[in-house]
Chain A
Amino acid sequence: MITLKDKVSSFFVFFLITAAQIGIGVLGFQRIISEYAGHDAWMSIIVAALAISGVIWLMYRMLGHHEEGDIIGIHRFTFGKWLGGLLSVLFAAYLVLLATVVLRTYVEIIQVWMFPHINVWALLLLILPLVYYIISVEFRTVVGVCFLGVVYPSFLLLTLFFPLKYAEPTNIMPVMDHSMIEIIQSSSLAILEFMGVSALLVFYPFIRDAAKSQKFAQLGNGATMLVYLAICIVSYLYYNQQELTDVIWATLGFWKIIELPFMARFEYFGISTLFFSILPNIALFTWASARTLDRTFHAGHKKMALLVITILFLVCVGMTDRMGVNIINDVAGKMGLVVLFVYVPLLFLLNVVRRKVKKNGS
């Protein structure tokens, strides 16, 4: 049972949403989203954010009607115990996949940029106990990590000024050179960067005055959009489109030009600081996954947390190269699209119908 003590102030939804959305994607999304809309792809970030804003509204409408107020309750109510339970397990799996994408990509960056000889499994033994410590007891700890995960790395935004020295305005001219369809196609790829919002379906009941917290969720989504937009526009000024197709982590490339009197390479510092940005991602997704499983099977949160973390560990160790990382990134992106834009609206409709039926029945 969630007591008042477990709940957090609705203001923290802002940090939860922003921290869940900004993660490993900031490092390399520029190349991915420019596939269709080229140098106009920065506009597709706005389109994607607006679409996500609609999904958040839909989620609040749906969650507000339920006493338990999370996706497990809605599943059970709408589909019954068995089908609902199955869907909850699938949703938990999707959350683990999101955590895997984040963690494995971060480890890959450490491998490529810092320690090419590092043992992945041993590095994970360093990170995962920390994650377990965050998620195993209270949700409030997760919220704290999310808060710091927004605050600490935020100063990295200042590094966006350095690449402007090389900015070529012709790179993004002329504006609107691509059709609306191409921009929307690109925004379907940009959705991947906003996918973290699906954790809302699980942590909703932990928010005080949850129904009134929507404005903070929307603000959080807006803040995410601004961060991505700033990074994207700076990248498109800094790289020309042909160059961008070659660069895997465009944002890390910015740091290559920063040379400070006391620091020859900023990347090492930047990548280390980014850990604070990816930790809330992993913590929130694994927590949400463990909670979903616990609510479905009533097996105890700690046990489920341990299970989720073990799965995370095994999948991350099993994936050994760039190909694998690329594949899970693609799969997660496609699944995110389906979950947010097909499944959530569908669930919303079915839920409305089910409520009507029940009302008429009683």
Chain B
Amino acid sequence: MGRNYVIFILLVVISMAVNYGMPKKVIDQVQIVTVAGHDLAENDKVKTTVVAPFFAKEGELMDLLYTSTASSIYKNKIKLNAQSSEQLLIAKEEVILYNQDLASKGLEDYVSYLFRDPSMGADLLLAVVEDSTEEVLSSVDSSKGTGIYIQELLEHNTRHGHLPSADLKVFGAALKSKRRDPFLPLLALKEGKPHLKGLAFFDDDKLVDTIPITKAGVFRLLYERVDDGQYNMTTSDYKISVQNIESSRNIDAVKKGGQPEVTISVRFKGVVREFSEANATKKLPEIEKAVEKDFRKKAKKMVKRFQELNIDPLHIEGYVKGQVRKYNKKQFKQAYPEIPINIQADVSITESGARN
């Protein structure tokens, strides 16, 4: 028995000793990259900028920015590491930015490394930048650090604003799926500060269209269930803003005369916060009707545009597949720009705030 114990302990010790030499990563011997940006450079090369926060002393943070250009992202990793005093660790990135030129060329090759690396979280955020990601990354001056700054900029707009939720998982699912097209938030520089400019829509992995953030609210209501949204409208008579919107969305597809017919129904309720006239309470039914009409108009226009561009960010094909038996992929693809897509809106405005 005693001999057995000796053998057991010996084996365990050998195992530990052999694996002791494994390369390790110690927290103060690495620089943790929080955000990376990829720009299209000349000759189809890619210019990568990474930012790693460096904690000089308690509460003080310095962003270290590194840039290099090479033909692939991991080649850049070598060049970037050649500049930094500690190993750059890319496993804890919060945001990855791509510039618009790169996105127009096709993102597939530049996002695949994110899926392949198991240390990448699925809630990593992606965004497109209008000009140079390097400029955006060097423009941020915040005690939070650039990575967290941009991450929070995108996150709070998703929680309360017009930005539909999109992270690596959602983007990847839409990119892989042959039945829908992805979209990403679009950032740009305005007076030297990054701001959320709008949404960028992709055809497969190529950027084909953008819309401003003010219009993204309509897309968001068409795309998903919203917990806290806003809707603004200007008519010839008045201006109105509906806040605290909670919405639900339903897509129904039926087959009519060999063609699928799709109906997107959006129901939302909210409260009036800004109204350029008096007596909102009395006019609520009227306002509801007007908002419904306005939403239908804006949504129709948006859907028409998607059909013209032959992109499907709303995942309409998925719903048709799910609800129409004997759906044929080829037929649908051909018919998509022409199929009737109806918009139904059911708006209820429950309150008009603390005033009549």
Interface residues of chain A, those whose CB is within 8 Å of chain B, are 112-113, 115, 117-119, 121-123, 125-126, 128-129, 133, 166, 168-171, 173-174, 177, 239-240, 242-243, 246, 252-253, 256-257, 259, 264-265, 267
Contacts and interface: CB of A to CB of B under 8 A. Distances in A.
Q: Is the interface of A mostly helix, strand, loop or mixed?
A: helix
Given A173-B322, A240-B176, A123 B115 contact: no
Given A129-B11, A168-B318, A239-B173, A119 B122 contact: no
Nearest to A252: B118
A140 B339 CA distance: 67
Contacts of B354: none
Contacts of B19: 115, 118-119, 122-123
Contacts of A117: 22-23
A115 B173 contact: no
A257 B18 contact: no
A112 B120 CA distance: 13
Contact of B121 (A126, A168, A257): A257
Contact of B322 (A112, A119, A170, A257): A170
A253 B14 CA distance: 33
Contacts of A239: 173
Given A256-B122, A257-B169, A115 B322 contact: no
A113 B15 contact: no
Contact of A129 (B12, B120, B325): B12
A216 B263 CA distance: 51
A170 B327 CA distance: 13
A169 B319 CA distance: 9
Given A122-B18, A123-B19, A170-B318, A242 B123 contact: no
B118 A267 contact: yes
A125 B115 contact: no
Given A170-B318, A243-B172, A259-B121, A125 B15 contact: yes
Contacts of A170: 315, 318-319, 321-322
A243 B119 contact: no
A129 B11 CA distance: 8
Contacts, number: 87
B334 to A, nearest CB: 20
Which are the 3 A-B pairs with shortest beta-carbon distances?
Answer: A173-B322, A122-B18, A170-B322
Contacts of A253: 122
B289 interface: no
B121 A265 contact: yes
B139 interface: no
B182 to A, nearest CB: 12
Interface of B: 7-8, 11-12, 14-16, 18-19, 22-23, 92, 115, 118-123, 169-170, 172-173, 176-179, 315, 318-319, 321-323, 325
Among A115, A240, A242, A257, residue most surrounded by chain B Cβ atoms (within 10 Å)? A240
Contact of A243 (B120, B176, B323): B176
Nearest to B118: A113
Contacts of B121: 256-257, 259, 264-265
Contacts of A240: 173, 176-177, 179, 318
Given A122-B19, A166-B170, A265-B119, 4 more contacts: A126-B11, A173-B323, A242-B176, A243-B176
A246 B12 contact: no
B122 A246 contact: no
Nearest to B17: A122
B12 A125 contact: yes
Nearest to A115: B22
Contacts of B8: 129, 133
Contacts of B178: 242
A169 B322 contact: yes
Contact of A126 (B15, B22, B170): B15
Contact of A112 (B22, B115, B118, B325): B118
A112 B11 CA distance: 24
Contacts of B322: 169-170, 173-174
Contacts of B120: 256
Contact of A246 (B115, B118, B123): B115
Nearest to B170: A166
A177 B325 contact: yes
A118 B22 CA distance: 7
A257 B272 CA distance: 36
B321 A122 contact: no
Given A125-B11, A177-B325, A257 B318 contact: no
B203 to A, nearest CB: 16
A119 B18 contact: yes
Contacts of B319: 170
A276 B16 CA distance: 20
